[in-house]
Structure formats: C-alpha cells, structure tokens
Structure 1
C-alpha cells in the first residue's frame, strides 16, 4: 500500500482574520432548499491543494474579498429557522470568511511523496474552530500553509448546506480567476436563488425513493455491518485508474451495453467493496452516488446555480447477485439508477423531505462522491496549477478524485477496516 505522511503541528504566527466582501452587498435572508439543508449534508467539503510556489497572502485575501462581493452568501452565517434546527436559512450579513495563515516544516516533495493516503494529522492543515455545532462555523474557512521550500498548501472548507461539488468548483475557479486576472470579469456569474426548489403545494410524493428506505427484514445484518465499519480502525485505500484501465472495465460490458467511465468504475468499486468485506449473501446492499439534476429539471436550473443541485442515485442488489455476477450486472444497476433521476423524481424528493425530514439509509450502503471531471485540479492562482489536489481527510465515503495532468484518469480513495484494506486494494486493481 502507498505510504502516507505525518503532518507536524503548524506554526500560527498571525491571528485568523475575517475577509469581508470589498463592496456593498445585499443584506437579506437566503432561503435554503430542502435539498440544501438535509441533515446528512451538514458538514464542510474540505479540499487540499499543494502548490510548488506560494502566492502572497495579501494577494489571496484581496482577491477573496473581491470574489465574495459576487458570492456574498458565503460571507454570511447559517441559522436555524425559528429555533427549529430541522430547517436552516442563511443570514447574508457580510460577516466574512475566515482566513488563516500558517507555516510548516515539511517540503513540497515530502508531502507529494505521501500525498495519496490522508491521515488524521492532515487535519492540522485546516484551522480548527471551537464551535458548539456546525451552524456556528463560518460557511467558508481557508488556511494557507507556507512550506519551508517556498511552496504552499491551500485548504478550503465550504459548507455543504450552501453549495455542492459543482458549486464549489465554480466558486474556487472564480477566486483563482480574480487572483490571476484581477481586472477581468468572471466567466460564470453566480445565481443565488433557491426558490426554484421549493416544495409543491400540496405535497406530491410520487416516487419510492429507495435511498431513504431500510428493509426491516435485514435490519440485524445491516446493523452489524454498520457497527463493524464504525468500531474497527479505518485506514485509507487509494488506487489510481488510468484511461486504459477504465477502458478495460468498459470492455467487459460491450458491445451490447455502452457505459460511461463513472458507471463502469462505480460498479467495480461497489462489487470489490462487497467482496472484500465478505458480506452475507442474503444482505441487500446499496450504492448511493450523486447525480447532477441541473439539466434534468424543467425548467433547468439557471446557469451559475451553485447550491445543492444533485440527488442521490440508488442502485440496490443482494450481495449474492452482486459478487456472483459479472461486471455488466452492476453497471446496469448504476445506469438504471442514474436514468431514473427526472424532474418529477427530484420534485417528489423535495416534497418527501418537507413531510418527513428523513435521511438516506446508510446502514448497508456504499456512498460515492464524484470530485473528478469538475475542473477542481486546474485551480491556478497565478503561480501554476497544483501538484496535488485531493481530500483533507479520508472518511468512510468513497471519493472519485481527479488526477492532476490526466483528465480521464480517476483516483479512488476510501477508508475501510484495517483488516480488509489490502484485500480491498487487490480487488480494486484491474
């Protein structure tokens, strides 16, 4: 398995500062959709970028202030509606994003050498706030860590209750654009409104929404799996798939079934996960993955919409069929789950959340979050593109990460129980 790197304590020589928009911005309350404020999205999306050369902190703060004039909700604060923590809204008060400077004794080469396997020490690269709860944390937190060789690590944390993966890429690209070309206009202007995703009156729940449904007959087995994943020591497994390896997976499904790279790889990871964990054949397992709903809605979401515009696709199978069948079986389930996402299904989900405030069933599920193909790895603040782009931490969710320099490659990063990590890695490798 690939080695990791232990991050020493960062040296904070300056106090954190709040960076506010550099001009007058609207002061109002922003409605958050039911997709935005789902409980399972109440965390920050945390990215890590490694650069060979540092950008002056004053330059980054100035450009951040400029981009926050456009993305002013990210300078606001979340709050519960009427004291009810079930529903959130955003106070667009311009309070500011938290910006932190630090330094570290490591070098770019040292970090790059162990960059494929995050560990808990990496969390030192993002300033930790003493907060009672998620709501009290600023929606945008940034730490710039200067390395001894002149490079830098940039870590960002963006509230998932306000923004999704596509939205984070849009915002970060806007920030980098203003930093490197301060006198130019943004290529995409943000669309802030979420009212297009309000529930219907009356509510109309017209779909089954299997991603929210737990089968009562298998609760004991799925509960044991959940306990196993939570109690065992988890270690990250990271495997990079080249375009030729992705093509190998896709060839297992042709000529009669055409599939995308994501569909082929998602099915392969799901099957490898079930085999490595040696799950009971009778257990029904799910694969949950984000599906961009922007163009599936009628009308489509406006260009520049950066809120949560995705829903979870849900493929489901008995373990016996998933591991006993060929790759084509899983790919067909993934394709079917993707294709089922329609305007009506999204509207039905919004109405379901309004009525029940439920959360997805994660007890016997593999969750994949797609970070590749968003352009996240192209972030250039004027000193070149990153040498590495990835996650600040490795959690139980599976991430499909971009590979710097190869748009068509994927890195799969996922934490699994230590006793099955090597087996999972071997099953993953094509």
Structure 2
C-alpha cells in the first residue's frame, strides 16, 4: 500500500528500468516502523477525527429523501466569486482547499443543522512536507499522510465569514 507520492516514485523507478537502467536512481525504502506509534504514546494535541460522535445524523435522516445528485463546475469566475467571500487581505489558499471549505459551510447551511451541533471536516494531509514534515528517507514509498479534522458549532460555521472555515482547516493541519 502506498500514497500517491509513493506510487509516483514507483512509476518513476519503473520507467528508469524500462529505459535500460540497471537500478532505480532512488532505491526504494520499506521501513514501516518509521511511522509507528511511540512505545509510550504521548498525546500532543486534540485529534477530533477520532471522536466517536462528532456530527449529528438527525440532519441526514431528515434530508434523506430530499437529497439529489448534482455536478458543479468551478471555473475561474466561480473561484473568484468564492475568494471574494474571504476577508480582505487574506493570504493565499489553494483552489481545492477553498472549494472544500466553501462546500462544508454551505452544506451545513443547506442541511439546517442545529446551531449547537458540531460539524466536522476531515482532509488528507501529506506528512512529507509542510509544517509537520517528517524526516522520511528519500526512497520511502509507503503511506505518509494523516487525516486531521476541523470542528465547529454549526451556528458559528454558518454565521461567520468563509475565512473562519479556512482558518479552522489550517489549524487542524498543523
């Protein structure tokens, strides 16, 4: 099992071998123990993604027969309209992250979830780069991601600006 990054490394190695190389330029490393839990686990921060009950099922049960499937296209015009909802002077944010928080906020509004209920959003985060970069060997091709969760009261998520939701996700990724 490997992450997309690990799969890319595997394909690069395979292409080098197909082109006649006697070995891959980056030798594969399979040290699963690198990402094992400490022998004495130490909780360093809250992990909302492991909470047993975070989001109410009442909203889903009430909407079950009313839900429809629909596709949306987010082009430059739509992305710009979403970015306009961020507080002025807000720094850069990736398109994917922007669309995800936009959908999270407006899905919560559409489902009319009780304002005191918790809503959460999980996102896959690579541990190969970024704030929590782990010192993995160059050839490590195993899974190297985590799925942190942002959590908010539905009322806060719905009433505050989109910047609030973006900040929740950024904090969860730290």
* Short-chain TM bin: 0.7 to 0.9
Q: TM-score, normalised by structure 1?
A: 0.34
In 2, Cα distance between equivalents of 1:199 and 1:323: 37
Q: Are 2:81 and 1:242 aligned? A: no
In structure 2, the gaps of 5 or more residues are: none
8 Å contact 1:286–1:317 — kept in the other structure? yes
CA offsets, 1:291-314, max 9 Å, x none?
11123245x212232222111121
Q: Which structure 2 residues correspond to residues 130-141 of structure 1 after superposition, within 5 A?
A: none
CA offsets, 1:315-358, max 9 Å, x none?
111111212222212112112212x2xxxxxxxxxxxxxxxxxx
In structure 1, the gaps of 5 or more residues are: 1-161, 341-430
Residues 328, 297 of structure 1: alpha-carbon distance in 2 compared, 3 angstrom cutoff: closer
Higher helix content, 1 or 2: 2
Equivalent residue number for residue 97 of structure 2: 263
1:227 CA drift (Å): 5.2
CA offsets, 1:146-203, max 9 Å, x none?
xxxxxxxxxxxxxxxx22233334435655x369x54356565432211111222222
Residues 234, 164 of structure 1: alpha-carbon distance in 2 compared, 3 angstrom cutoff: farther
Equivalent residue number for residue 51 of structure 2: 213
Residues 186, 255 of structure 1: alpha-carbon distance in 2 compared, 3 angstrom cutoff: farther
Aligned residue pair count: 170
Equivalent residue number for residue 282 of structure 1: 116
Q: Flag the structure with larger Rg.
A: 1
8 Å contact 1:289–1:312 — kept in the other structure? yes
1:292 aligned to which of 84, 107, 126: 126
CA offsets, 1:259-312, max 9 Å, x none?
3123322210111221232322221100100111123245x2122322221111
Residues 174, 260 of structure 1: alpha-carbon distance in 2 compared, 3 angstrom cutoff: farther
What is the DSSP-based 3-state SS (H/G/I as helix, E as strand, rest coil) of the residue aligned with 1:258? coil
In 2, Cα distance between equivalents of 1:312 and 1:306: 18
Equivalent residue number for residue 58 of structure 2: 224
Q: Which structure 2 residues correspond to residues 20-169 of structure 1 after superposition, within 5 A?
A: 162-169=1-8
1:233 CA drift (Å): 9.2
Equivalent residue number for residue 139 of structure 2: 304
Q: Are 2:37 and 1:199 aligned? A: yes
1:225 CA drift (Å): 4.3
Higher relative contact order (CA 8 A, sep 6+): 2
8 Å contact 2:120–2:152 — kept in the other structure? yes
In 2, Cα distance between equivalents of 1:323 and 1:237: 22
Instruction: State the 4+ residue runs in structure 1 displaced beyond 4 angstroms.
Output: 172-175, 184-189, 225-229, 231-236
Higher strand content, 1 or 2: 1
